[in-house]
């Protein structure tokens, strides 16, 4: 078992492409169940987008394959469409 705050700042890597998507900045938690629903990763090079919204990837918890000590591996995630392929 791990704690939610231990996820913050872990590197997120796409398993299929080995692309580093960025570091976790936040998590979405279900109000009704208390379960983590998604991880939030700021988009690379989108400083202005982050200021005005839309500068983050919301990766569903179901896409996560492995949570390691330093990395989180996710199933192929289509960054352009922000959905699983």
pLDDT digits (tens, 9 = 90+) for 9-52: 899 999 988 999 999 999 999 999 989 999 999 887 655 555 55
Is the domain covering 4-84 a CATH 2.40.128.110 domain? Answer: no
Contact (CB, 8 A) for 42 and 54: no
Output the pTM of the full model: 0.76
55 vs 36, 37, 42, 66, CA distance in Å? 20, 19, 6, 24
39 vs 3, 60, 64, 66, CA distance in Å? 13, 6, 9, 13
Element (H, E) at 22: strand 20-23
CA distance 30 to 38: 9
């Amino acid at each position: 078992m791990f704690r939610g705050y231990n996820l913050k700042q872990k590197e997120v890597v796409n398993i299929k492409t080995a692309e580093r998507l960025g570091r976790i900045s936040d998590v979405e938690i279900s109000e009704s169940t208390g379960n983590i629903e998604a991880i939030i990763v700021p988009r690379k090079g989108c400083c202005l987008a982050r200021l005005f919204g839309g500068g983050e990837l919301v990766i569903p918890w179901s896409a996560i394959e492995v949570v390691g000590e330093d990395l989180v591996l996710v199933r192929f995630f289509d960054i352009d469409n922000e959905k699983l392929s």
